[in-house]
Structure 1
Amino acid sequence: MRENPPANEPHRPHASHEPHASHEPDGHHHGPGRRARFTHRLTHLLTPHSHQASDKVDQAMEASAEGMRTLWISLAVLGVTTVVQALVVALSGSVALLGDTLHNGADALTAVPLGVAFLLGRRAATRRFTYGYGRAEDLAGIVIVLTIAASAVLAAWTAVDRLLDPREISHLPAVAAAALTGFVGNEWVARYRIRTGRRIGSAALVADGLHARTDGFTSLAVLLGAGGAALGWRLADPVVGLLITVAILLVLGGAAREVFRRLMDSVDPALVDTAERTLRGVPGVLSVGELRMRWIGHQLRAEAAVVIDGALDLFSAHQVAVEAEHALLHAVPRLTDALIHPDPTPGAGGLDPHAALAHHRRPARAG
């Protein structure tokens, strides 16, 4: 039922940008006019690209390389932050800062599952993993969410322990400076990871950025606790710690929701609207039927059924499908591949071209 190229075809049809024939009601096919050719060429000049399979792989590699670079830089920043805090812990003996230091050091290791995921994502698809290994990023996202949850539990446990057994903090200015360093370092890493993750479409990297933000909240709790201790309130640190635990749980909810949506193949409805609007604007497409989109790692794929004139010959129908895919690749950000299935209008006598599949269709749900 789908338009598939012959098995011996040397390349995919959309690799070529030859002019596509327009389809007139009388059944004759005329070449595109000067205005259409000029617009097509101008579009390519303004948005140069290629649809070759090798170029798509290069784009995925570039995105993965950017993700790896973000992870390495983030790890270096968090490493420096941890070392600074450890030096102050040795000087002051602050148990609160010690916990924050260990927390930051351990959480920096969340870069490991993401790094593994990015490396796996570079591997070529196989006959077993026909879509490649992009889903490894979603698995890394689960690990990161679990780490955030563990951070919340640790923060709550520490806060309760300090409420039951308050502890004195010495060298408060140094402790405050170290806590501020931890907050600034983690917030910088959080923004960097979130910005890169959204640019390359990696939900796992965004979740890791949110995780770094929770670490900044923990450091801020130490800073506020030190301020309260300086004012003589011994319970300031554990009380603020409980409040920060609530903030961590809120961030955890956002990260878990994003990773869950990615695992469930959720996409932004605005992308679906853009794809439908684009397909309807393709010459030869009468209407748009089923349209599906999904993320695989940080690459977006689409499948769509478009209704075309059933009187067209096979080559002309295929050209409409190619033009539809071509338009989608231009219009939808991060889209690397689209499979277009042309549905012909009913033939003579109103025969359903999908009649042979009728008994395979699931009945429509009420409501």
Structure 2
Amino acid sequence: MISMLDKLQARHFFWISTAAAIATILLKTLAWWVTGSVGLLSDAMESFVNLAGAVFALWMITIARCPPDAEHPLGHAKAEYFSAGFEGILIFGAAGAIIWSAVMRLLEPQPLEALGFGLALSVGSSVINLLVALALRRASRRLRSIALEGSSRHLMTDVWTSAGVLAGLGLASLSGWLWMDALVAIAVGINILVEGTRLVRASAHGLMDASLPAGEVSAIETVLQGFALRGIEPANLRTRSAGVESFIYVDVRVPPDWTILRIHDLLHEIEAEIQAIHPGARVFTHPEPLSGDAQGAPAA
């Protein structure tokens, strides 16, 4: 289960992400305004997506951390996958707008002004995004949050996008090739389209009840093998992850002459040992009679 401290920490990181998005929007919009660069405009538009994604992610992660209720007895953890999917869709929209604007500028190049000041503003915004992205990445691994991971990946994309824009504008300034500004913006749009595709794929994968990582499943099977030496037969091991929540299901075949109390104690022991190697997991065991007609294959 997710502790109250983890809930507060996750929301704390999204507030940081929101503040960073607002700061970078202001810096990049000012950079575009003083230079007239469509490349910097594309960078600023992506920051608007960052802000919308951060606000939506904050909402979803708040829902995901709500305790189970009558309508959602297994909790609300899957809400985080909607956050990653929503951010991916926003990226698609931003990429389309960026590419359209860039194509128009490619057809009608325009001179760039106050480029040095604009690039300095863009560098400052990139430093903010880099620091926040690294913090979100560490937090996503510790809290096992796909919403935090999605925001981190998006911010890192923004950092690389800004680096490409800066390189392209520098080349345009040195060479006088004004069309280079539009070409860089198109490359930016294509790059974030790829990132948006990854986020949507990860969201869909989670919503379809993906199993736990192979290493974690193997550790659970090892625990069950130990119990198999005691005359019982674990079978039909199933696992699934939903955001920060993990669910583990296993049938336990026992001799038909065992008492209910003995079966209860055994199942309780199995659940405790699995939770010892997978803290916070919800473990569900189901007893079945041990016989030659039992269906399903052993878990280990």
TM-score class, shorter:
0.7 to 0.9
- Supply the RMSD in Å over aligned alpha carbons: 2.5
- Residue matched to 1:210: 153
Aligned: 1:265 with 2:209: yes
**1:73 is aligned with what amino acid?**
I
- Residue matched to 1:331: 277
CA distance in 2, matches of 1:229, 1:240: 10
- Residue matched to 2:109: 166
Query: Following superposition, which runs of at least 4 residues in structure 1 exceed 6 angstroms of deviation?
Result: none
CA distance in 2, matches of 1:68, 1:154: 30
Partners of 2:49 and 2:90 within 8 A in 1: no
Name the CA shift for 1:285/1:206 in 2 (closer, same or farther; >3 Å): farther
**1:145 is aligned with what amino acid?**
G
**Same amino acid, percent of matched pairs:** 27
- Residue matched to 1:148: 91
Residue among 97, 119, 131 paired with 1:188: 131
- Residue matched to 1:176: 119
Aligned: 1:241 with 2:241: no
Structure of greater Rg: 1
Q: Deviations over 1:128-155 (max 9, x none)?
A: 2222222221222221111122222223
The secondary structure found in structure 2 opposite 1:291 is strand
Shift of 1:75: 1.7
Q: Which moved more, 1:184-193 or 1:164-173?
A: 184-193
Shift of 1:90: 4.5
CA distance in 1, matches of 2:194, 2:42: 21
- Residue matched to 2:82: 139
**1:344 is aligned with what amino acid?**
P
Name the CA shift for 1:155/1:277 in 2 (closer, same or farther; >3 Å): farther
- Residue matched to 2:290: 345
- Residue matched to 2:73: 130
- Residue matched to 1:121: 64
CA distance in 2, matches of 1:68, 1:177: 31
Name the CA shift for 1:216/1:158 in 2 (closer, same or farther; >3 Å): farther
- Residue matched to 1:279: 224
Name the CA shift for 1:148/1:89 in 2 (closer, same or farther; >3 Å): closer
Q: In proportion to residue count, which structure has more helix?
A: 2
Gaps of 5+ in 2: none
Q: Describe how 1:47-66 pairs up with structure 2 within 5 A.
A: 56=1, 59-66=2-9
Shift of 1:285: 6.4
Shift of 1:99: 4.0
Residue among 67, 70, 75 paired with 2:10: 67
Q: Which has the higher contact order (CA 8 A, sep 6+)?
A: 2
Gaps of 5+ in 1: 1-55, 355-360
Partners of 1:89 and 1:98 within 8 A in 2: yes
Q: Deviations over 1:242-276 (max 9, x none)?
A: 33333223322322222111011113222222221
TM norm structure 2: 0.87
Name the CA shift for 1:154/1:210 in 2 (closer, same or farther; >3 Å): farther
Q: Describe how 1:66-105 pairs up with structure 2 within 5 A.
A: 66-105=9-48
Q: Deviations over 1:309-343 (max 9, x none)?
A: 4443221221111111111111125x431011133
Partners of 1:117 and 1:140 within 8 A in 2: yes
CA distance in 2, matches of 1:112, 1:194: 18
CA distance in 1, matches of 2:141, 2:150: 10
Partners of 1:193 and 1:208 within 8 A in 2: yes
Partners of 2:39 and 2:182 within 8 A in 1: no
CA distance in 1, matches of 2:151, 2:139: 11
- Residue matched to 1:197: 140
The secondary structure found in structure 1 opposite 2:281 is strand
CA distance in 1, matches of 2:137, 2:90: 17
**1:306 is aligned with what amino acid?**
V
The secondary structure found in structure 2 opposite 1:340 is strand
TM norm structure 1: 0.72
CA distance in 2, matches of 1:266, 1:216: 30
- Residue matched to 1:23: none
Q: Deviations over 1:102-152 (max 9, x none)?
A: 431342121122111122233332222222222221222221111122222
Shift of 1:87: 3.8
- Residue matched to 2:235: 289
**Count of equivalent residues:** 294
CA distance in 2, matches of 1:160, 1:188: 32
**2:7 is aligned with what amino acid?**
S
CA distance in 2, matches of 1:285, 1:331: 23
CA distance in 1, matches of 2:204, 2:195: 14
